[in-house]
Amino acid sequence: MTETLIRAENLSVGFQIGKGLFNKFTLKAVDNVTIHIEKGSFFGLVGESGSGKTTLGRALLKAVPITGGNAHYSDGEVEYDLEKISKEQLKDYRKRAQLIFQDPYAALSPRMTVRDIIAEPLEVMGITRTRAETDARVREIAAKCRLNLEHLRRFPHAFSGGQRQRISIARALVSDPKFVVADESVAALDVSIQADVLNLLKQLQKDLGLTFMFISHDLSVVAHTCDHVAVMYLGRLVETAPTRKLFAAPRHPYTKALFSAIPSLDPDDRGKAQKLEGEIPSPTNQPPGCKFHTRCPHAIDVCKSVEPQLEGDGSGHEVSCHRWKELMETIPA
C-alpha cells in the first residue's frame, strides 16, 4: 500500500504588494491547491513561468508562509502540520525537507571548498559534533553523488556545470532528507549532462528512499523521470494524473497546448504545435471564471464567469475544465 509523505489541502500562498491603505493588494501565487505526494515517488510539477510552481515547492519546504489551507508531512517517524509547525519542529523539518537549486553556478559560494560547501548544513543544523564525524558524512554523500573524493579540497570554479550540480545535490542530501524539491535542477545544463544528472537523481531516489517534487517547464524531462504529474496555471492546479495517463491523453486545453509544443522527431508531427496566444495574465489581476479563458481557443460564455473545479474519474486523473469530455470526443489529443 502506498503511503502519503506530503498532503496539501486547499493550499494558498498570497503576498501583500504595495503600500498604503488603497494601494495594497494580494498577489495570489498559489490558489487552493490540493495534492498528495506518495512516499518514494517522483512527483512532477509543470507549467509556464509565473504559474506558481516554484512558490508551491517553497511553501511545502516552509520557506514561504502558507496563507490558506494546509499541508502535512508524515514520514513514519514524525508528523508535522506545516501551518502550525513549532520552531523546534521546524528545525527538525529543515533536515527532512531540502531544496536543490536551479543554477549550479550561482548556488555555490566561490570562496568555499567543496568539502566546506557540503559540510555547512551539518554544522549549521548541529547534525555532527566533531570534524571527523562531519568529514566522514561528507565523504559518504560525495561518493553517493559520484564526486571524486580528491575534488573535496578544490573550489567550485574548477568544475563543469554537471559536476557543480552534483555538489549542490550532495549539499542538499547531506542532512539525510526524506523529501527533496528539485526546482528546474537540470534546466541550466547541456542535454547530455541533463541525462547524467537525472539518472543520478533516480539512483539516489532508489538507494536513499527519497521522495522528489520535480519542478520543470521541460515536459520531455518530466515524461522520463516522474511517476505522477500536476499541471499548474496561474496558481491553480488544472490537471493531475499518473505520468503515462497524462501523456497518453491530456484533457485540459492548457496541458494539450504545452504537450503539442514538445519537439517531435516525427517529420509528420512537426508544425502541429498548438501555439499558446498571449501571455499568462498577471497574478495581481486574475480573470474571472476559468483562469485560462483569456487564452483558450475553446472558451464559451460559462468559462468567463464560472470557475471549473478539479473533477476526477476515479483513476487518479483529475482535470478542471467545463468542456473536457466534449473536447475529448471532438478534438482528440
Taking the CA atoms of 21, 25, 26 and 29 in sequence, report the sign of the dihedral they define: negative
Counting residues that bind ligand SF4 (by CB under 6 A) gives 13
Q: Which is nearer to ligand SF4, 142 or 257 (CB)?
A: 257
Q: Which is nearer to ligand SF4, 284 or 305 (CB)?
A: 305
What's the min distance (Å) between Cβ of 176 and ligand SF4? 42
Would you give the binding string for ligand SF4 spanning residues 193-232, x where CB under 6 A is met?
----------------------------------------
Q: Which is nearer to ligand SF4, 246 or 321 (CB)?
A: 321
C-alpha span between 74 and 211 (Å, rounded): 12
Cell numbers 470557475 correspond to: 307
The CA-atom distances, in angstroms, between 268 and each of 181, 198, 218, 265, 271 are 37, 29, 22, 9, 8
**The only residue of 53, 178, 251, 323 in contact with ligand SF4, by rule CB under 6 A:** 323
What's the min distance (Å) between Cβ of 285 and ligand SF4? 17
C-alpha span between 147 and 34 (Å, rounded): 38
Q: Does 321 bind ligand SF4 (CB under 6 A)?
A: yes
* Bridge partners, 100 (sequence order): 182
Q: Which is nearer to ligand SF4, 164 or 293 (CB)?
A: 293
**The only residue of 69, 162, 253, 283 in contact with ligand SF4, by rule CB under 6 A:** 253
- CB neighbours of 307 closer than 8 A, spacing ≥ 6? 288, 289, 290, 291
What's the min distance (Å) between Cβ of 199 and ligand SF4? 36
C-alpha span between 253 and 330 (Å, rounded): 13
Tell me if 34 sits within 8 A of 220, measured CB to CB: no
What's the min distance (Å) between Cβ of 291 and ligand SF4? 8
Tell me if 169 sits within 8 A of 201, measured CB to CB: yes
* Bridge partners, 26 (sequence order): 16
Q: Which is nearer to ligand SF4, 3 or 326 (CB)?
A: 326
Q: Which is nearer to ligand SF4, 172 or 234 (CB)?
A: 234
Would you give the binding string for ligand SF4 spanning residues 281-300, x where CB under 6 A is met?
---------x-xx--x-xx-
| Residue 226, all three cell numbers | 516522474
Q: Which of 215, 264, 263 is nearest to 51 (CA)?
A: 215
Q: Does 308 bind ligand SF4 (CB under 6 A)?
A: yes
C-alpha span between 86 and 251 (Å, rounded): 41
Q: Which is nearer to ligand SF4, 128 or 274 (CB)?
A: 274
SS3 call for 97: strand
What's the min distance (Å) between Cβ of 255 and ligand SF4? 9
- Which residues of this chain interact with ligand SF4, rule CB under 6 A? 252-253, 290, 292-293, 296, 298-299, 303, 308, 321-323
